[in-house]
Amino acid sequence: LESKWDRASDRTTASDKWAELCEEISSRRGQSGGGGLVKKQRLGESKELELWKLNLVFHHCYPKLDENVSKMQNHLLKSPFAVHPKTGRVCIPIDPASMDTFDPFEVPT
């Protein structure tokens, strides 16, 4: 998949790539073949791939969640244009190109 996605002609979206990845993992899980030891190894690899998929999601999503989000639904600090319940400040997306000059106190409230 990586070599396919690295091609300049590849126009698949992130959603398409996720679907292709899930399909590839499922197809590997469906492969049996071989004797007892080979089957056990493939089953182990299949379980590892499923766990890897979950770890991938958490790796990319978890750091974006604030621990208080699970306590209070109005505490979505990382959600664009959300208003912080105590400070009243608005959460806005930051342009990575101007991150060094970004001043959080210039954000509208």
* pLDDT exceeds 70 at position 100: yes
**Cα–Cα distance, 99 to 92 (Å, whole number):** 12
∠64-5-33 over CA atoms, to 5°? 100
Residue 11: pLDDT band with limits 50, 70, 90: confident
Six-digit token string for 34: 């071989």
Q: How confident is the model at residue 94 (pLDDT cuts 50, 70, 90)?
A: confident
Q: Summarize pLDDT for 14-34 with one digit per residue, the tens.
A: 889 889 988 888 887 665 555
pLDDT at site 19 = 92
Q: Which CA distances in Å does 41 have to 44, 45, 46, 66, 88?
A: 5, 6, 9, 39, 55
The residues that bridge with 83 in the sheet, in sequence order, are 90
Note the pTM of the prediction, 2 decimals: 0.44
Q: What digits encode the pLDDT tens for the residues 32-70?
A: 555 555 566 666 777 888 888 888 887 776 655 556 666
Chain centroid, CA 101 distance in Å: 28
